[in-house]
Amino acid sequence: MGRVEGKVALISGVARGQGRSHALRLAEEGADIIGFDVCANNDVVAYPLATEDDLEETGRLIEKFGRKSYLRKADVRDIDAVKSVIEGGVTEFGRLDIVLANAGIMPTIGDECLLDSAYYQSIDVMLNGVYNTVYPAIPHIKAGDRGGAVVITSSTAGLKGTGDGTSGVLGYVAAKHGVVGLMRAWANAHAADRIRVNTVHPAGVNTPMILNQAFTDYVESHPEILDNVKNPLPTIDGLIDANDVSNLVLHLVSDEGRFTTGATMTVDAGFTNKI
């Protein structure tokens, strides 16, 4: 029996990267998946975002574990669209137990990071988007009267004042710090209903957010970045694997994490601990 057998998880940014990794790890452990992704590019992001083909592939991979999925194209900035996905998925599966507010962008490279809109888009996607995902989902968890778990994807940038002070970096850091405040408030507000809320703070992860030509080109012209993000523990090419984050998420949403709430959980190869 899987560690989340029979449960239903909602995941934003599910089409690829960490979102897909989390979906597959939870499906492997017995969960059905409700998910959404914007499946469109963003003008302040220098690299291509996920596509509808990516979203469909996530669904096919979930099915290989014998689980079901309800995946839709939706923009995390649009709360009505998110509500529609949540309501459709809960109607389909009859319950909701887990929420992973994972959708994110990295407008921190290229000329795009200098735009004022890079700051505002960061806040809209990664702070307001977390609210848009979690707030309308909690009543559905409560309705089951079984408790539940929420995990918000923050970053090492949510614990340290990192970066070069450009608009995109400031927006990223502000959003990743801001979700910690949301997490702590929700953890207190919903503890009596046995709903646990935590943030995870990864170091750089080997996903398309980093493994793209735009990022490679930016690092080549700004090699000092590699020194700034170097992890104390040895990692492959300086990155952790998405599955390392998924394993932590699985722990937090399963019964193994039943008494963990209000916590900022790192999976960062020692990055936030270094001087």
Burial of 259 (0-12, 13-18, 19+ CB in 10 A): exposed
How far apart CA 7 and CA 163 sit, in angstroms, is 39
Cα dihedral 38, 42, 47, 52, rounded to 10, equals: 30
Determine the pLDDT at residue 237.
84
Q: Read off the pTM.
A: 0.96
Residues 6+ apart with CB under 8 A from 185: none
120 is catalytic: no
Give pLDDT < 70 ranges for the chain.
Answer: 226-228
Topology of domain 8-266, CATH: Rossmann fold (3.40.50)
Determine the pLDDT at residue 227.
62
The residue from 47, 70, 172, 218 that is catalytic is 172
Q: How far is CA 102 from the centre of its chain?
A: 2
Q: Which two tokens stand for residue 15?
A: 């089409």
Element (DSSP H or E) covering residue 184: helix 167-189
How far apart CA 56 and CA 80 sit, in angstroms, is 22
Determine the pLDDT at residue 228.
63
Determine the pLDDT at residue 58.
98
Nearest residue to 104 (alpha-carbon basis) of 52, 60, 157, 27: 157
Determine the pLDDT at residue 176.
98
